[in-house]
Chains A and B, each alone.
Chain A
Amino acid sequence: MAESPFKADIEKVQKEYGEKMTPGAIVYIPGSSVVNKTGGWRVFMPKFDKDKCIRCFMCYTLCPEPAIYLDEESYPVFDYDYCKGCGICANECPTKAIEMVRETK
């Protein structure tokens, strides 16, 4: 499993901001947005069929979150912590290797 490219120190964000009100509303931990698990917004989720994938990186390139990164074999990995389920990846996939399915929890 590939690791997330986001290196913000989530623990530090959660711990420090509670106590430290920075003047001027300064955010001093860049990328602290990763604390927000926006995957909770999702209604449809991308279902990936590795067999159909030609590794064109279209899904990776066009993800606005970004919630798709690449594994060691350069197949896309869907980060469901952040994927909002917009479906751009499925719509743009040239081989229909991604299908949006209603999420049942």
Chain B
Amino acid sequence: MPKKVISGNYAAAYATKHARVEVVAAYPITPQTSIIEKIAEFIANGEVENLEYVPVESEHSAMAACIGASATGARTFTATSAQGLALMHEMLHWAAGARLPVVMVDVNRAMAPPWSVWDDQTDSLAQRDTGWLQFYAENNQEVYDGVLMAFKIGEHEKVNLPVMIIESAFILSHTYDVVDMLEQEEVDEFLPPRKPLYSLTDFDNPFSIGALGTPADYYEFRYKIAKAMEEAKKIIKEVGKEFGEKFGRDYSQMIELYKTDDADIVFMGMGSLMGTVKEAVDILRSEGYKVGAAKVRWFRPFPREELYELAKSVQGIAVLDRNFSFGQEGILFNEAKGILYNTDAKPIMKNYIVGLGGRDLTVNDVRKIANNMKKIIEKGELDKEIDWYHLKR
């Protein structure tokens, strides 16, 4: 299989090429730009056929054009970041409500002001209620694999929902790493052409989509999306397993567990920072710490059952949030804690706010967090629930 040293953004672009995407509508924003530049290059070099590239005048229009194209039956892709994603917000709801499996890469970037182009998860997590599936990639390989799986999962007849593949600004988007890419025939076999739920080109039996839903019906349409999300968990696991069997990289777990079997303390988080955490786990284990890592791959739908199984077996969970919901707490922490409330699993949970706006999380930081967690577990009580860990004291 062809291995290439490429950036996360190029990994995303190659995945769209191998997925035989038919329409791309996108608007440039740092650090997403090299994705759409690469796609344009594919077209310019004649490396792709039947791909229409629509250079729209805003992100809002990018998503709107993707929605129109997807409703016309095309496999559709876009990419954005931060402010662009926020501008799309209205249409994110639209894509999900109209049940269109658009796939988008969001390069996690901090929201302004102050202006920042660096890594932060608040942009994508602010879109959590739009009905999009969300996959957080740890490395460039996961960006590539994630985009391929996203089409298969989103387009599944039981799902029909849009999927967001999320990668970190610069840490992944612009950092070169080995990506093991698939042969075109392998992808074609894994991902056949899209069979849409409906298409506007069905002229003999014309559909109208997205009409007014009165109070007598709206509720059921929402339930259908909720059910499709629930169904998506099964499909994610199926597709993740198939991917593993075919290509050797298994994605059947929605939460990837790393050395958690005998761990007392587990670090939980999403995205590229979990790479550092896994590295730290290895080092800390050699120093005698009983620690492990739980990488939440899929934030939507949330793997409630997997979290419960993990929580039953550990004493403490340190949730590392590269995001924050003002007036509340880190978003992953908030969700994980809420899920466990009605269960018998009651590990001590603490929220560490880390890495906002691209600040580095180092192995040393993870050691300090481990020491802090150890103390808390020994004492049996929290020093504080939300820790702005990096704050310049």
With A23-B99, A23-B160, A24-B99 as given contacts, are A30 and B217 in contact (CB-CB < 8 Å)? no
Q: By the criterion CB–CB under 8 Å, are B205 and A28 in contact? A: yes
Q: By the criterion CB–CB under 8 Å, are A21 and B210 in contact? A: no
Q: By the criterion CB–CB under 8 Å, are B205 and A24 in contact? A: no
B224, CB-defined interface residue at 8 Å? yes
- B interface majority secondary structure: loop
Chain A 27-56, CB-CB to B under 8 Å as 1, else 0, gives: 110100000000000000000000000000
Closest chain B CB from A19 CB (angstroms): 11
Q: By the criterion CB–CB under 8 Å, are B221 and A21 in contact? A: yes
Q: Considering the chains assembled together, what is the distance between the CA atoms of A24 and B71 in angstroms?
A: 11
Closest chain A CB from B230 CB (angstroms): 14
Q: By the criterion CB–CB under 8 Å, are B208 and A24 in contact? A: no
Q: How large is the interface on B (under 10, 10 to 19, 20 to 34, 35 or more residues)?
A: 20 to 34
With A30-B205, A30-B206 as given contacts, are A25 and B160 in contact (CB-CB < 8 Å)? no
Q: By the criterion CB–CB under 8 Å, are A25 and B221 in contact? A: yes
Residue numbers in B under 8 Å from A21 (CB-CB): 217, 220-221, 224
Q: Considering the chains assembled together, what is the distance between the CA atoms of A25 and B98 in angstroms?
A: 7
Q: By the criterion CB–CB under 8 Å, are B206 and A24 in contact? A: no
A26, CB-defined interface residue at 8 Å? yes
Q: By the criterion CB–CB under 8 Å, are B208 and A27 in contact? A: yes
Q: By the criterion CB–CB under 8 Å, are B220 and A24 in contact? A: no
Residue numbers in A under 8 Å from B211 (CB-CB): 25, 27
Closest to A31 in B: B206
With A23-B99, A23-B228 as given contacts, are A28 and B207 in contact (CB-CB < 8 Å)? yes
Q: By the criterion CB–CB under 8 Å, are A24 and B209 in contact? A: yes
Closest chain B CB from A31 CB (angstroms): 9
Q: Considering the chains assembled together, what is the distance between the CA atoms of A27 and B206 in angstroms?
A: 9
Number of interface residues of A (CB under 8 A): 8
Q: By the criterion CB–CB under 8 Å, are B198 and A24 in contact? A: yes
Q: By the criterion CB–CB under 8 Å, are A26 and B205 in contact? A: no
Closest to B213 in A: A25
Residue numbers in B under 8 Å from A24 (CB-CB): 97-100, 160, 197-198, 209-210, 221
Chain B 337-378, CB-CB to A under 8 Å as 1, else 0, gives: 000000000000000000000000000000000000000000
Q: Considering the chains assembled together, what is the distance between the CA atoms of A25 and B208 in angstroms?
A: 8
Q: Considering the chains assembled together, what is the distance between the CA atoms of A23 and B222 in angstroms?
A: 9
Residue numbers in A under 8 Å from B208 (CB-CB): 26-27, 30
Residue numbers in A under 8 Å from B213 (CB-CB): 25
Q: Considering the chains assembled together, what is the distance between the CA atoms of A24 and B93 in angstroms?
A: 12
Chain A 80-105, CB-CB to B under 8 Å as 1, else 0, gives: 00000000000000000000000000
Residue numbers in B under 8 Å from A23 (CB-CB): 99, 160, 197, 221, 224-225, 228
Q: Considering the chains assembled together, what is the distance between the CA atoms of A30 and B198 in angstroms?
A: 14
Closest chain B CB from A83 CB (angstroms): 24
Q: Considering the chains assembled together, what is the distance between the CA atoms of A27 and B198 in angstroms?
A: 11
Among A21, A23, A28, A30, max chain B CB count under 10 A is at: A23
Closest to A32 in B: B208
Q: Considering the chains assembled together, what is the distance between the CA atoms of A91 and B73 in angstroms?
A: 46
Closest chain A CB from B130 CB (angstroms): 15
Residue numbers in A under 8 Å from B224 (CB-CB): 21, 23
Chain B 217-255, CB-CB to A under 8 Å as 1, else 0, gives: 100110011001000000000000000000000000000
Which residue numbers of B lie inside 8 Å of A, CB to CB?
97-100, 160, 197-198, 205-211, 213, 217, 220-221, 224-225, 228
Which residue numbers of A lie inside 8 Å of B, CB to CB?
21, 23-28, 30
Some 9 contacts from A to B, beta carbons below 8 A apart, are: A23-B99, A23-B228, A24-B209, A25-B97, A28-B205, A30-B205, A30-B206, A30-B207, A30-B208
3 nearest CB pairs, A to B: A24-B99, A27-B208, A21-B220
